Amino acid sequence: MPGLGTSVGRGGATTAQQSLADSDAILIMGSSMAEQHPVGFQWVVEARERGCRVIHVDPRFTRTSACADMWVPLRAGTDILFLGALIRYVLENDRWFKDYVVHYTNASTILREDYVDAEDGAGLFSGWDDEKKQYTPETWLYEGSEPKQSGGSHAGHHPAGGGHAKDRGGEAGHSEQFETDETLQHPRCVFQVLKRHFARYTPELVERSCGIPKDVFLKVAETYIAASGPQKTGCICYAVGWTQHSTGVQIIRAAAILQLLLGNIGRPGGGILALRGHASIQGSTDIPTLYDILPAYMPMPFFEDDAKNFEAYVKKHTTEAGLWSKFETFMVSFLKAWYGDAATKENQWGFNYLPRVTGDHSELGYWLDMADGKLDGLFVMGQNPAVGAPNGRLQRKAMANLKWLVVRDLVETETASFWKDSPEVERGELRPEDIGTEVFLMPAAGPAEKSGSFTNTQRLLQWHNKAVDAPGDARSELWFAYHLGRMLKERAARERNAKNAALNALTWAIPTRGSVGEPDAESVLAEINGRNLTTGKLLSTFEDLKNDGSTMSGCWIYTGVMPEEGRNRANIREAKDSLGHGWGFAWPKDTRIIYNRASARPDGTPWSEEKKFVWWDSEKREWTGKDISDFKKDMPPDHKGDLSKGGLEALDGDKPFGMHPDGRGWLYVNSGLKDGPLPTHFEPLESPVRNPLYPAHQTNPPTNKKERPDNRYANSPGDPRFPFVLTTYRLTEHHTAGGMSRALSHLSELQPELFAEISPELAELTGISPNDWVTIVTPRALISARALITARMSVLEIEGRQIHQVGLPYHWGWKGLVTGDVANDLLALSQEPNVRIMETKGLVCNLIPGRHPAGHAALDELHELLEERP
Amino acid sequence: MSGATDHTGIQPGEITAFLTDSTLCIGCKACEVACKEWNDISADGFDFTGWSYDNTGALGHATWRHVKFVEGQITPGIGGNSAEQFSWEFSSDVCKHCEVAGCLEACPTGSLVRTEFGSVFLQPDICNGCSYCVISCPFGVVQKDEDDGRAFKCTFCTDRQKAGLMPACAKACPTESIKFGRHDELRIEAQVRLATLQARGMADAQIYDPTDSSVKGIHSMFIIRGEPETYNLPPKPEVPSIYLKEGWKSAAFEAVAMVGAVVASFFLLGRKG
């Protein structure tokens, strides 16, 4: 989220999958799109058939590589080196899109004199606090931009982390205050800083460290860059192959820089497509299941000075220009949705009913708390952490410390049965009779057994209607959440004390139907959409929201999905054009390609006939074209920004990135990231190779390894016990941790066993035969899999030596029709600094022929292997 | 985008076909699963083959669509869509619904019939499990379910076709690698597609539709790269009945010889007697 969010304004994909069909080149990296998004991949195939060049950069030759024009293998975890080299190539060879870069990005903005780049700081930017292992980001601000100070807190990063919200961690400065040099010659302008920052990311370095031959790299660079410009556009597709790294957010930042330099954002066939891994992963951050944000990317108040009263909180998060200058409006409307009549001006709209974040309540953070016995209870819904989460051994043992555990799923998952049949029980580490956790297993309804919406990878809300009743006691999530809330509220109503004030204030008037009391999902959507509280009418656009308590909206970016009673736009299936307008509803305002003001020149005319998309109609005096304009519809291209007006009108008419206070795409992020304003290469937390650029800083400095006896790491670089690179992934045939696929025979038979993909060379080196058992070892665990020996895994030449990579899909556990060891047991539980995600895509391992022993002997073998010293 | 109930516009009596284009296949196996779901076929066993990503192995009584995974040469810089070489090809196999069908000719019970769409349909309620069809299929498509006692194969979703719906596999295919339509139209489409691929430099692309063999053409045509054998497709499939003429000839010849021998033996015996 913050990778895209800080670069262009919103964390969502900037384009629609249908628009891929208009691309002239598609770079797929950090994703096996054909395997994980086979339906969306149809538009890649369509583009390819029209002559688009498809490039797949991946450690493995996957089904996506099989459909690509070019497959480029790289060493796992060197993505920033590769993208940085593309950025350098664009800059050094003068291939950047000049008018776009000068007008639409912050290339010309001048930085402070005391800003020190990582290139001059041996891998550290200015502001590093070596004791706290975190940055004070004030020196990263623009020249002339004052640091924000409100309620006594300075620009900085809260130790509780949280990077998902619009500006969490930044709160830094008045980014609407800046100085520019449009000639881009000033030595401290972003453009020049960028040039210097990436100067060492050369094709030679790519060859040496990524393992990509120089001529192959140059071919990729030429192919991709030649497909950008006024007449052409290129798109970048990524997925968790980028996000699940200790530098994940910065990898996505590097992609954004490349796309901004090439003028590819906001244009048809261009953009960055963040491919989300499930039907509603985008939806689960829009209306979040995350600890640090409220719906629509508004920050959760953290326990600190400026969260004590609403005024200070609003002041902190409001910008002077751009859409976030309406922060108070969005927030008041949101509080009115949650607390209704109980939210009044007098009680700060119920702001103090909201809980405060007091520490690291991220998923991995609370799992460590659980391991340490600090957590009593846990709800697990639509997840199977016993199989799907990093360091599975730690996670399963942690659950034994709970007092209660509620699991809602279609089948009894490994999470629900960990106490009786997990590997820990089999190995004698846990004994059922010693576990005090009370487990409640509740049957869940499947997608066809309930109504509701999905918000997919391209911000598109699609409704699904219940087709059949769920069997037996199976119920929808909505049913569960509604009735649990109803019962808690009934109890709170009997005990009217301060602790229950928020529950008593909460609006919970959802009509229910039928014998089981199923809540009406569309009435929830109506609340999300929002109403005018005076007239009672539903709202059609967030532009109608007010800050005086006369409107409410549960998620302002979704406003318009239900513009009037009985009209659920998410449920409409009448596609009128190739972008799918008329089929579902894309936030915001049904805009399919966001920042689309950038598809026209600064003067409002299209860049070219070929890529004509949204333009200024000077007769009607409005923005028009093939999409809803992501801009103020009647604001002319020559509009001069007026700060006193706030909102989009505070920006000039040629500034397409209206979420940012300067209206520009950010090549350089002055505020909002915890590990630096520019992407910088660091090795994965475990790597066989020394950081070629910053030997003093092997890994991303603010990353938290959470190293402890039950979460051990290999020595890095080059632990002789773990000589091979390991990367994990998914297969088309299964769904994540298998809860939805291993119980189905038609899917299970297609991939019936855990396997490890190994190159013929590595098989020979380690003495492993095809189909034989192989044991994979990391400092956390050892597991066994069947050996799938294939030339699709290649050996890379890195710094003059051979590096072998092993691929491992992670779908199996000990239950279901097909079983296997838990691949995620091998991973460490680590936290990327911005979003606190673990590193699953690049670590180290060893391979041993044969299957590990059963029972406690497996642990003995692991300990023996770990203690072996070179 | 089309809705789930869109009518194909094809009426019974019109001859239909599949054109499976492996150059568009992404190996997702949605066709295999959709086929099993629609036709309510059981799983085929949970056996890891280690043979690329193919764990169902071959067409059989419980697998009527089967995606083959053919691993070729892998070279950095070159993807599978390059003209230079094919590196990992996927091709969804299915019953060929031959013009001259060995299975149909061999069936003694009349279980196998030609439908109004030109396809070959096996009626399970008539099948007696004799397995003559199994050994008569030049493609190894038909298989007997030993537990059930009868043979099974692709129905060409005749039930769906009668309702104006395309077969489940074609409907589920996300990239239109499996095309369904009128046989004559798809034959032209195949030629056009081949010309496109060749113009793109894929000199190894070809249409698999053995019209010059004794099966006289098939209703499940393929576009493949490389040789048919690579995909377990016989370059010259033969219907067993072509040997019948020769068989009858030699049988007749032997019969005459036999009669002659008997007559001669009488003479000989008579002389002795």
What is the DSSP track for A407-422? EEESS--HHHHHHHHS
Q: Are residues B201 and B127 located together in one domain of the fold?
A: yes
Q: Cβ–Cβ of B80/A66 closer than 8 Å?
A: yes
Q: Are residues B156 and B269 in the same domain?
A: no
The verdict on B266 and B133 lying in the same domain is: no
Q: Using CB atoms, pick whichever of A746, A792, A817 lies closest to residue B71.
A: A792
pLDDT, residue B5, reads 53
Confidence category of residue A157, pLDDT binned at 50, 70, 90? low
Q: Which residues of chain A have a CB within 8 Å of the CB of B48?
A: 752-753, 755, 771, 786
Q: pTM of the predicted model, to two decimals? A: 0.95
Q: What average pLDDT does the structure give for chain B?
A: 92
DSSP label at residue A267: S
Distance between A81 CA and the closest CA of chain B, angstroms: 18
Hey, how many other C-beta atoms are within 10 angstroms of the C-beta on B95? 26
Q: Is the predicted pLDDT of residue B273 greater than 60, yes or no?
A: no
Percent of chain B with pLDDT over 70: 96
Residues A276-285 as b or e (16 or more Cβ within 10 Å = b): bebbbbbbeb
Q: What Å distances lie between residue A496 and A334, A343, A499, A817, CA to CA?
A: 24, 17, 8, 50
Cα–Cα dist A792/A215, whole Å:
21
- Strand ranges in A291-403 using DSSP code E only, listed in sequence order: 293-294, 298-299, 377-381
Tens of pLDDT, residues A447-461 = 999 999 999 999 999
Chain A residues touching B1 at Cβ < 8 A: 575, 580, 583
Q: Is B199 on the interface with A (CB under 8 A)?
A: no
Best residue in B37, B49, B52, B55 for a mutation probing chain A (most A CBs within 10 Å): B55
Predicted confidence (pLDDT) at residue B248 exceeds the cutoff of 80: no
| Structure tokens given for A269 | 């066939």
Model confidence at A148: pLDDT above 80: no
In this prediction, residue B263 has a pLDDT band, given cuts at 50, 70 and 90, of confident
Instruction: Give the per-residue pLDDT at B234.
Output: 96
For residue B69, tell me if it sits in a domain: yes
Residue B116 in domain: yes
In this prediction, residue B247 has a pLDDT band, given cuts at 50, 70 and 90, of: confident
Q: Chain B: residue nearest A61 by CA? A: B74
Is B40 part of the contact surface with chain A (CB cutoff 8 Å)?
no
Question: Which pairs from A549-552 meet CB under 8 Å and 24+ separation?
Answer: A549/A332, A549/A336, A549/A343, A549/A344, A549/A345, A549/A349, A551/A333, A551/A336, A552/A333, A552/A334, A552/A336, A552/A337, A552/A340, A552/A527
List chain B residues with CB under 8 Å of A786. 48, 50
The verdict on B263 and B205 lying in the same domain is no
A658: region left, alpha or beta (phi > 0 left; psi from -120 to 50 alpha): alpha
Query: CB-based contact (8 Å) between B273 and chain A?
Result: no
Residue B11 lies in a domain: no
Q: Which residue do the tokens 């004509």 mark?
A: A612
pLDDT of residue A156: 54
Task: Assess whether pLDDT exceeds 90 at residue B194.
Answer: yes
Q: Is the pLDDT of residue B67 over 50?
A: yes
Chain B residues within 8 A of A751 when measuring between CB atoms: 53, 55
Whether B235 and B119 share a structural domain: yes
Model confidence over A696-720: pLDDT tens digits? 999 999 999 999 999 999 999 999 9
B207 and B262 inside one domain: no
Of B27, B36, B50, the CB nearest to A788: B50
Regarding whether B199 and B154 lie in a shared domain, the answer is: yes
Site from B1, B5, B28, B192 to mutate, A interface, most A CB atoms within 10 angstroms: B28
Both B161 and B123 in one domain: the answer is yes
* Paired tokens of A833: 């600094």
B27 touching chain A per CB within 8 A? yes
DSSP secondary structure letter of residue A800: T
Q: Say how many Å lie between the first and final Cα of chain B, rounded.
A: 90
Q: Which residues contact B5 (CB under 8 A, 6 or more apart)?
A: B165
What is the per-residue pLDDT for A169? 42
Q: What pLDDT, on a 0 to 100 scale, did the predictor assign at position B12?
A: 85
Give residue A302's pLDDT band: very low, low, confident or very high (50, 70, 90): confident
B37 neighbourhood in chain A, CB within 8 Å = 746
Q: Collect all residues of chain B within an 8 Å Cβ-Cβ radius of residue A733.
A: 29
Backbone φ, ψ for residue A272 (5° rounding): -125, 120
Q: How confident is the model at residue B4 (pLDDT cuts 50, 70, 90)?
A: very low
Find the CB nearest B55 among A39, A54, A752: A752
Distance from CA of B206 to the nearest CA of A (A): 17
Of A67, A70, A789, the CB nearest to B77: A70
Would you say residue B5 lies in a domain? Answer: no
Read off the pLDDT band of A377 (50, 70, 90): very high
Structure tokens at A299: 């920050």
pLDDT > 70 in chain A, percent = 97
The answer to whether residue B101 sits within a structural domain is yes
Residue A687's Cβ-count burial label (10 Å; 0-12, 13-18, 19+) is: buried
Predicted pLDDT at B251: 77
Chain A contacts of B55, Cβ < 8 Å?
749-752
Asked if B26 lies within 8 A of A770 by C-beta distance, the reply is no
Q: Does B176 touch chain A (CB under 8 A)?
A: yes
Q: Is the pLDDT reported for residue A656 higher than 90?
A: yes
- Chain A residues with CB under 8 Å of B90 CB are 63, 66
Per-residue model confidence as pLDDT tens digits over A5-26: 999 999 999 999 999 999 999 9
Residue B175 C-alpha, separation from nearest chain A C-alpha, in angstroms: 5
pLDDT band at B245; cut points 50, 70, 90: confident
Starting at the edge strand found earlier in the chain, the sheet holding A272-274 runs A70-72, A53-57, A25-29, A234-238, A272-274
B132 in reach of chain A (CB within 8 A): no
**What stretch of H or E contains A774?**
strand A773-777
CA distance B48 to chain A (A): 6
In this structure, are residues A846 and A721 in contact, taking their beta carbons and an 8 Å threshold? yes
Average pLDDT, chain A: 95
Residue B85 clears pLDDT 60, i.e. is over it: yes
Please check whether residue B181 lies inside any domain of the structure: yes
First-to-last alpha carbon distance for chain A, in angstroms, is: 42
Residue B67 lies in a domain: yes
Three-state DSSP class for residue A744: coil
- Residue B153: give its domain's CATH number: 3.30.70.20
Residue of A nearest to B69 (CA): A63
More confident site: A437 or A151: A437
Q: Do residues A81 and A681 make contact, with C-beta atoms less than 8 angstroms apart?
A: yes
Q: Which residues of B touch A203 (CB under 8 A)?
A: none
- pLDDT the model gives residue A316: 86
Beta bridge partners, B94, equal B65
Q: Is B69 on the interface with A (CB under 8 A)?
A: no
Q: Which residue has the higher pLDDT, B110 or B248?
A: B110
8 Å CB contact of B79 and A45: no
Q: What confidence category does residue A304 fall into, taking pLDDT thresholds of 50, 70 and 90?
A: confident
A170 has pLDDT over 50:
no
Residue numbers of the domain that contains B32: 16-240
Residue A434 CB burial class (10 angstroms; 0-12, 13-18, ≥19): exposed
Residues of B in contact with A792 (CB under 8 A): 71, 74, 88
Disruptive mutation site among B23, B40, B41, B46 for chain A (greatest number of A CBs within 10 Å): B46
Element (H, E) at B17: strand B16-21
Residue whose entry in the numeric block shows the structure tokens 């576009």: B223
Of A48, A70, A755, the CB nearest to B48: A755
Mean pLDDT of A86-113: 98
- Answer whether residue B70 is part of any domain: yes
d(CA A324, CA A714): 44
Q: Do B82 and A70 touch (CB under 8 A)?
A: yes
- Pick from A63, A731, A792: CB nearest B26: A63
How many domains does one find in chain B? 2
Contact A67 B42 (CB under 8 A): no
Q: Which residues contact A239 (CB under 8 A, 6 or more apart)?
A: A30, A31, A32, A33, A36, A37, A274, A275, A276, A277
Q: Write down the ipTM of this complex.
A: 0.93
- Cβ–Cβ contact B28 with A under 8 A: yes
Shared-domain flag, residues B232 and B245: no
What is the structure's pLDDT at B2? 43
Residue carrying structure tokens 């099966």: B215
pLDDT at residue A147, rounded to an integer: 79
The letter for the amino acid at A496 is R
DSSP state at residue B98:
B
Same domain for B259 and B213, yes or no, is no
Q: Does the CB of B45 have a partner CB in chain A at under 8 Å?
A: yes
pLDDT value, residue A868: 54
Q: Is the pLDDT of residue B195 over 50?
A: yes
Q: What is the pLDDT of residue A149?
A: 64
Indicate yes or no: CB of B33 within 8 angstroms of CB of A48: no
Shared domain for B193 and B268, answered yes or no, is: no
pLDDT in tens, A735-775: 999 999 999 999 999 999 999 999 999 999 999 999 999 99
A56/B56 Cβ within 8 A: no
Whether the bond into A779 is cis, omega within 30 of 0: no
Q: Where are the strands (E) in A199-284, listed by range?
A: 234-238, 272-274
| Three state DSSP letters for A153-197 | ECCCCCCCCCCCCCCCCCCCECCCCCCECCCCCCCCEHHHHHHHH
CB A720 within 8 A of CB A870: yes
Cβ contacts from A onto B, under 8 A: 139
- CA dist A244 and A254 (Å) reads 15
Is pLDDT larger for residue B4 or for residue B115?
Answer: B115
B-chain CB neighbours of A48 within 8 Å are: 81
Query: In whole angstroms, what is the distance from residue A462 CA to residue A279 CA?
Result: 10
Residue B237 pLDDT exceeds 70? yes
Q: What is the DSSP secondary-structure string of A477-532?
A: HHHHHHHHHHHHHHHHHHS-SGGGHHHHHS-----EETTTTEE-HHHHHHHHH-EE
CB contact under 8 A, A71 and B79: yes
pLDDT of A807-839, one tens digit each?
Answer: 999 999 999 999 999 999 999 999 999 999 999
DSSP one-letter code for A20 = G
Closest CA to A25 of A254, A257, A221, A256: A221
Distance, in angstroms, between A212 CA and closest chain B CA? 8
Please, what are the domains in chain A?
2-274 (3.40.228.10), 294-357+525-568 (no CATH), 724-867 (2.40.40.20)
Domain identity same for B226 and B247 = no
pLDDT given for residue A158 in this prediction: 64
Contact A748 B43 (CB under 8 A): yes
Q: Quick one: pLDDT band at residue B3, thresholds 50, 70, 90?
A: very low
From A91-100, A308-317, A365-374, A486-495, the region with the lowest mean pLDDT: A308-317
- Across the range A683-693, mean pLDDT stands at 98
